[in-house]
Amino acid sequence: MAHIKLGSPEPTRPQRGCAQSTRCRRLLILISIISVALAVGLAVSLTIFAVRRSRSHVRGDAVPGALRHRAHDLTLCATELTTLPGAAAAGDADLVPMSLNGTRRRVADALYNATALAGSRAIADCLEMLDAAGELLERSVRAITVAPSNATGTAATADTDTDTAGDVMTWLSAALTYYDTCHDSLQQADADDDKDRRRIKAQMLQYLTNLGEHLSNSLAIFKALGTPGGGIPVHNQIHQRLLASSNDDANTNTDVSFPPRWVEPSDRRLLVAEAADIVPDMVVAKDGNGTHMNITDAVEAAPEYSSCRVVIYVKAGVYTENVKIGRRKTNLMLVGDGAGDTVVVGSLSVQDQFKTFHTATLSVSGEGFMMRDMTVENRAGPAKPQAVALLVSGDHAVVYRCAVLGYQDTLYAHAQRQFYRDCEVAGKVDVVFGNAAAVLQNCTLRARLLLTQQKNTVTAQGRTDPNHSTGISVHGCRLLPAPDLAAVQGRTRRTWGGRGSRTRGRCT
């Protein structure tokens, strides 16, 4: 019932975006040109040039606009489209799903081959990330290949298209983020002197070759040809449209609207109802007067891939555990007795040989997650490096009236769409970071005292690709010093996210 929208993509017409098919033709012509060039062996160097160019230009070097554009087109064609069987003969409408499906296949291949390598934690992380990326690509392909409905060109379909385009942009961006996380965790993996581990790491990196470019290309292709009005490379126009779509719809109408538009009415009621009126499916109580003694137990008992809301009421108390809500645990909701009363506490940090990803006290990858009236805390302490309190990567997460407390790297908004309202987030260095499309509304951000040499960055957005539909938006929030910082009048530096994030932070 709830969140059906995610799993069952609404009918859409990907070819709409190609109504202005001149660009498509141009791409097709380019493909043919490049196919010929391939025959002469010229394209090899072109491809290398283009791939390099696109990745380095992501980092912002100064190539003239026109050349950049062309370089990118070449990348798309040379590394993606020409390799797809029948691409040159395909209609405009098929190009986009074809390209995404091609990338999906590559991810599946890499995953298939890499499964044999399992062993270290870094590899396991990578496999998990690739699996998640593959799932999102599959979902994207499904969303844009659903047969068009009977309705013909009514105003209503324009909305649907924008919604689907927003969904697919979110998923493709997340797939690329998952890939980046996989790649990073591998790069950081300590291969030290163990010959076996070095070999496995090298092998895994080999499987990943070019996967990032393919994901990046799929995102660019979809953005250019698959989004409504795509193909007009007017950044602002596309950008505006994306902001107006469900990615970040909070930007346009949130001052008044909570919860965001994508929250189902039944979920909306669960968020705003008096706690006493909520009938939970499970009750966690330390005193044994519930269905479970700890949160981990209750989460494990929750059904997998649930399309119905599952409510876990967590009674007041301090729960010392690291809770993982995996991808299969969809539509879970945690309801506490109030921030400060229901507290989940962990204390892992990178210093204890954990990747940033695994330090989270509460880590959520299941989509449709909701949480209200709780505190999530990482007590690793001020002297420790990265120690995440809350990590969210599942799509359509809502966190309401919660406190997220930590020191370095407190709130990891890893991927997809997330909404935080009336929350308190305290930490230092990268207080809120990650590559999600996250909105923080009417929240209190508290910057803590730093060690010397450190810099406070309240939002550190991790965008790695110019076409990502991500950004951390801070609306009507208060930025305050935490007591330790206020005491010494330390210098606080704000850095807001890059392109795509809008800020209306009020700072004191």
Ligand X SMILES: *[C@@H]1O[C@H](CO)[C@@H](O)[C@H](O)[C@H]1NC(C)=O
Active site amino acids: 409, 430
Q: According to the binding rule CB under 6 A, does residue 399 interact with ligand X?
A: no
Among 5, 35, 46, 68, binds ligand X (CB under 6 A): 68
Q: Which stretch binds ligand X (CB under 6 A): 232-240, 371-379, 380-388, 402-410?
A: 232-240
Write the DSSP string, 490-508: --------STT--EEEEE-
C-alpha dist (Å) from residue 353 to 82, 213, 349, 356, 418? 43, 30, 8, 9, 28
Report whether 397 contacts 377 (CB < 8 A).
Answer: no
Q: Which is nearer to ligand X, 102 or 427 (CB)?
A: 102
Q: According to the binding rule CB under 6 A, does residue 223 interact with ligand X?
A: yes
Residue 308: CB minimum distance to ligand X, A: 25
- Give the Cβ contact number of residue 115 at 10 Å: 12
Q: According to the binding rule CB under 6 A, does residue 347 interact with ligand X?
A: no
Give me the residues paired with residue 506 across strands: 478
Rounded CA-CA distance 318/340 in Å is 9
Q: Which is nearer to ligand X, 216 or 457 (CB)?
A: 216
Residue 49: CB minimum distance to ligand X, A: 14
Label each residue of 33-70 as H, E or C.
HHHHHHHCCCHHHHHHHHHHHHHHHHCCCCCCHHHHHH
Q: According to the binding rule CB under 6 A, does residue 287 interact with ligand X?
A: yes
Residue 208: CB minimum distance to ligand X, A: 8
DSSP H or E segment with residue 165? helix 155-188
Residue 465: CB minimum distance to ligand X, A: 7
Q: According to the binding rule CB under 6 A, does residue 69 interact with ligand X?
A: yes
Site map (CB under 6 A) of ligand X, residues 457-496, x = contact: ---------xx-----------------------------
Token digits of residue 424: 């308190």
Query: 122 to 141, contacts with ligand X by CB under 6 A?
Result: 141
Q: Which is nearer to ligand X, 25 or 455 (CB)?
A: 25
Rounded CA-CA distance 416/171 in Å is 7
Site map (CB under 6 A) of ligand X, residues 292-311, x = contact: -xx-xx--------------
Q: According to the binding rule CB under 6 A, does residue 455 interact with ligand X?
A: no
Report whether 281 contacts 314 (CB < 8 A).
Answer: no
Query: 181 to 220, contacts with ligand X by CB under 6 A?
Result: 207, 220
Q: Which is nearer to ligand X, 186 or 450 (CB)?
A: 186
Residue 445: CB minimum distance to ligand X, A: 12
Write the DSSP string, 458-485: EEEE---STT---EEEEEEEEEEE-HHH
Residue 159: CB minimum distance to ligand X, A: 18
Q: Under 8 Å CB-to-CB from 61, ≥6 apart: which residues? A: none
Site map (CB under 6 A) of ligand X, residues 72-111, x = contact: x------------------------x---x---x---xx-
Q: Which of 231, 246, 205 is nearest to 419 (CA)?
A: 246
Angle at 412 between CA 409 and CA 417, to 5 degrees: 155
Give me the residues paired with residue 457 across strands: 430
Token digits of residue 492: 């606080």
Report whether 281 contacts 299 (CB < 8 A).
Answer: no
Q: Which is nearer to ligand X, 224 or 243 (CB)?
A: 224
Residues binding ligand X (CB under 6 A): 54, 57-58, 68-69, 72, 97, 101, 105, 109-110, 113, 141, 145, 149-150, 207, 220, 223-224, 233, 235, 238, 287, 289, 293-294, 296-297, 321, 422, 442, 466-467
